[in-house]
């Protein structure tokens, strides 16, 4: 892994498309929308789904959103549009026609209840998700370590896995990762045969970068951050929009 400070912006997308078919995997929070104080406080441009759909057409359909949010939550924020949505860190994947390519499972009720109780006792935000449960500590960063320890112990006790993100720790089923989603999609049209490119800003996007590298593509890191296996860097959400010509 290298430090993002060493990374240059990628060549223009149109230039890459002259040499090969490109498959794009886009993270959502911090990549397509600016981070906000809470999950529902994001500002999503009203026509984002339409713009993404048009970008997908320019890529022959090889465009997917790959997010920690559930596919339903992405849909709620984006509105209707013909998009491939890999939600819940890739545990649940829905094709543009609504068919389910991978089906996720909800967390055991007892686990959600433990997370809810911990959050209410500590003044944290519990985000109950279709295939996971997240403790958000953005409002109380001093409790990040405590929340992370609690979530990791709970995960171990129940045979679950954790995902660490920006001011959030989440419990998911083992095997849910963004790289797996990119890999599954690249086994099928319209992604099969493309050079896969994953764009994201967070630790969970590293799985996506690594999977794309293994499949002959690369990752683009958004913003600053720690070590990354991305090849290029874009500084901000605004720069992502400009690079994608969204
Ligand atoms: O994979 P992503 O699309 O980047 O989703 C990751 C998590 O995004 C959301 O949380 C993050 O964004 C919130 C809104 O900006 C912010 O308040 C929070 O601190 C961030 O961690 C979402 O709520 C999570 O479910 C996603 O896993």
Pick the CATH number of 109-172 from 3.40.50.720, 3.20.20.80, 3.30.70.1020, 1.20.950.20: 3.30.70.1020
Range(s) of the chain covered by CATH 3.30.70.1020: 109-172
Q: How far apart are the first and last CA of the chain?
A: 29
pLDDT of residue 191: 98
pLDDT of residue 4: 47
Q: How far is the CA of 244 from the centre of ligand 1 (A)?
A: 21
pLDDT of residue 225: 78
Residue ranges for the chain with pLDDT beneath 50: 3-4
Range(s) of the chain covered by CATH 3.40.50.1000: 13-104+176-244
Helical spans, DSSP H, in 126-236: 144-158, 178-186, 205-214
Alpha carbon 173 to its chain's center: 16
Residue whose CA is closest, atom 17 of ligand 1? 38
pLDDT of residue 81: 83
pLDDT, tens digit, for every residue of 110-137? Answer: 999 999 999 999 999 999 998 999 999 9
pLDDT of residue 6: 81
Q: Where do the DSSP E strands lie in the chain?
A: 22-26, 63-66, 84-87, 92-94, 100-102, 125-129, 132-136, 161-165, 168-172, 195-200, 218-222, 232-234
Residue in 33, 44, 68, 88 to alter for ligand 1 test, most ligand atoms within 8 A of Cβ? 68
Domain 13-104+176-244 has CATH 3.40.50.1000: yes
ipTM score above 0.85: yes
Q: How far is the CA of 162 from the centre of ligand 1 (A)?
A: 14
Q: Is the dihedral of CA 124, 129, 134, 137 positive or negative?
A: negative
């Amino acid at each position: 892994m290298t430090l993002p400070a060493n990374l240059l912006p990628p060549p223009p997308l149109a230039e890459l498309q002259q040499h090969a078919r490109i498959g794009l995997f886009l993270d959502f929070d911090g990549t397509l929308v600016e981070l906000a104080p809470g999950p529902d406080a994001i500002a999503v441009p009203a026509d984002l789904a339409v713009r993404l759909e048009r970008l997908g057409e320019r890529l022959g359909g090889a465009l997917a959103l790959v997010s920690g949010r559930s596919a339903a939550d992405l849909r709620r924020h984006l509105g209707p549009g013909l998009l491939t949505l890999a939600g819940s860190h890739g545990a649940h994947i829905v094709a543009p026609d609504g068919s389910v390519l991978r089906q996720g499972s909800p967390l055991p009720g007892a686990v959600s209840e433990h997370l809810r109780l911990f959050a209410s006792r500590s003044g944290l935000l519990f985000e109950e998700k279709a295939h996971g449960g997240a403790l958000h500590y953005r409002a109380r960063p001093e409790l990040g370590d405590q929340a992370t320890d609690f979530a990791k112990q709970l995960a171990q006790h129940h045979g679950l896995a954790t995902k660490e993100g920006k001011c959030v720790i989440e419990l998911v089923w083992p095997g849910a990762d963004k790289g797996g989603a990119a890999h599954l999609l690249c086994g099928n049209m319209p992604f099969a045969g493309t050079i896969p490119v994953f764009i994201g800003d967070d630790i969970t996007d590293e799985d996506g970068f690594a999977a794309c590298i293994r499949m002959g593509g690369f990752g683009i890191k958004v913003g600053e951050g720690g070590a990354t296996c991305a090849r290029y860097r874009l500084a901000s959400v605004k720069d992502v929009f400009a690079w994608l010509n969204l």
